[in-house]
Structure 1
């Protein structure tokens, strides 16, 4: 019986993943974005936990818009409660990522977007929901 032969064309070595799947470097962009939204929701929940206890937060890839839609692509949306479902605040990953120039700006954009949606839901100004709203510093 011959040993296992690995494919090694052109002397490049064995091909395959360099890190285990559970390592942070192997997380997808979608997973990293979900983590970013989750961290921001947790941060807002620390201050507004009681008011946000019945709110569900989620991430979707893109908004569902009609073909004749003629306006800026929404970055997020608040959906009212209906048929026993709680109020939902949804962040649209692809449009948000398209508007951000880098990771720091992406974090700031997610923060400001969620603050605006929560402020609208609570009937408050974004600055009263989060004093760091719309500031360049994280």
Structure 2
């Protein structure tokens, strides 16, 4: 009678059968940031610097990142918007929104991404001023 083996080559399992649960948003567990977190880090770095320099002239501005813009079905323009600026009324803050997916689709690498995000933020801030 042959000895019982755990698998075909007799080695057994090579790792845990079930991965431990991960906390959402925990980079220490996952190891590397995903594309959304990398994009958010780029935007945060640029927006922090712009806001630090221009906050006294800009007033209350809320910065946001959304995955894609919502365009109506009868959208005539061929271009997809990369950013949006909604001016605040009364006590509402002005809202500057960057659309992650269209911006990432136009960039080859991190340097291009940083340059495009900086260009978009500067254009929107100039329009606001």
**Does TM-score exceed 0.5, indicating one fold?**
yes
> For 1:67-121, what per-residue CA distance to the aligned partner results, in whole angstroms no more than 9, with x for missing partners?
2212200000101214742110000000000111111101100011000000011
Structure ID, larger Rg:
2
| 1:14 aligns to 2:12 (yes or no) | no
Question: Normalization by structure 1: what TM-score?
Answer: 0.70
Asked if residue 81 in structure 1 is aligned to residue 88 in structure 2, the reply is: yes
Higher relative CO (CA 8 A, sep ≥ 6), structure 1 or 2?
A: 2
Task: Tell me how far apart the structure 2 counterparts of residues 66 and 115 of structure 1 sit (CA, whole Å).
Answer: 26
Residue of structure 1 equivalent to 2:62: 56
Distance 1:23 1:37 in 2: 23
Unaligned stretches of 5+ residues in structure 1: 123-138
1:103-122 aligned at under 5 Å gives the runs 103-122=110-129
CA distance in 2, matches of 1:90, 1:68: 22
The alpha-carbon deviation at position 46 of structure 1 amounts to 2.4
